[in-house]
Amino acid sequence: MLIKMVPSVLLVLLVAAMAAMAASPPKPVDVPFQKNYVPTWAFDHIKNINGGNEVQLSLDKWTGTGFQSKGSYLFGHFSMQIKMVPGDSAGVVTAFYLSSQNAEHDEIDFEFLGNRSGQPYILQTNVFSGGKGDREQRIYLWFDPTKAYHSYSVLWNMRQIIFFVDDVPIRVFKNSKDLGVRYPFNQPMKIYSSLWNADDWATRGGLEKTDWSKAPFVASYKGFHVDGCEASMPNSACPTLGRRWWDQKAFDDLDGLQWRKLKWVRNRYTIYNYCTDTVRYPARSPECTRDRDI
């Protein structure tokens, strides 16, 4: 009987070991807006609700608005729960991103592009490193982002940047410095969010204009999770580099389940990927193979 049980025990141990190697970030911790963020412009267009546990950003014909983190961070996990502008949101962009302040800046972008009523939102992501961007990817979401809050997060360490929607990885950008591709590693970044009018490009390349009769346009936020190594701008390295949970080997790569989820997104929901745009980029970027975009 003992002999028959051994394979089952080994299987359980193997599954447990595989689970231990999974690269899912810890669950975000919800905090009030004012703990980690401050308004940056058009303060009267930001409304605090429930003691700052939620905020609403509004856009009208005169101005949008935005906020930024109090600190600058070098690596970590950054998450925001957002409910997008409902109804006719053509021309309206809701942005959530990290950015450094230097001329050759680094940036990690979520941009949610509004659409006419009944048409789906488009989520555009991009990565800038050393001032170079042009790495756009666009997807449809598998849910209506105006009906309820969903989590949008970034995991950033020395080896990879992962974009998550809820617990689904929608994009990975690997450190391909050995291939000649610059990677964000030494410029601390602040976290930003904004609601603004971009009807010159956001919806159908600018063909669909913002309908100001539908204003004000309102996006809602909560969560405000920040778990990063805070660093002042002059610093080139974080003092805890190598000692945080995101530095551990389990976060060197996606696990098998995460790669399958990413493949599902690419197969079903991706509508644009710079890696496959041979008209715009005849010479394929070196990181595309490592990131499994092709």
Does residue 213 belong to any structural domain of this protein?
A: yes
Q: Give the DSSP letter string of 239-293.
A: TTTT-SGGGSGGGSS--HHHHHHHHHHHHHTEEEEGGG-TTT-SS--THHHHTT-
* 230 catalytic per annotation: no
Cα–Cα distance list, 269 to 39, 136, 243, 250, 294 (Å): 33, 15, 36, 27, 15
Does residue 250 belong to any structural domain of this protein?
A: yes
Does residue 9 belong to any structural domain of this protein?
A: no
Total domains, the chain = 1
168-174/160-165 β-pairing: antiparallel
Half-sphere exposure (Cβ direction) of 252: Cα atoms closer than 13 Å:
5
Does residue 15 belong to any structural domain of this protein?
A: no
* Catalytic option among 54, 107, 136, 208: 107
Amino acid occupying residue 218: V
Query: pLDDT (tens digit, 9 = 90+) per residue, 156-215?
Result: 999 999 999 999 999 999 999 999 999 999 999 999 999 999 999 999 999 999 999 999
Indicate the average pLDDT of the chain: 91
Does residue 14 belong to any structural domain of this protein?
A: no
- Alpha-carbon gap, residue 151 to 164, rounded angstroms: 8
Query: pLDDT (tens digit, 9 = 90+) per residue, 137-163?
Result: 999 999 999 999 999 999 999 999 999
Indicate the pTM of the whole model. Answer: 0.91
* 111 catalytic per annotation: yes
Does residue 20 belong to any structural domain of this protein?
A: no
Does residue 2 belong to any structural domain of this protein?
A: no
* Catalytic option among 111, 208, 230, 287: 111
Q: What is the CATH number of the domain that holds 141?
A: 2.60.120.200
Does residue 101 belong to any structural domain of this protein?
A: yes
Domain that holds residue 109: 33-291
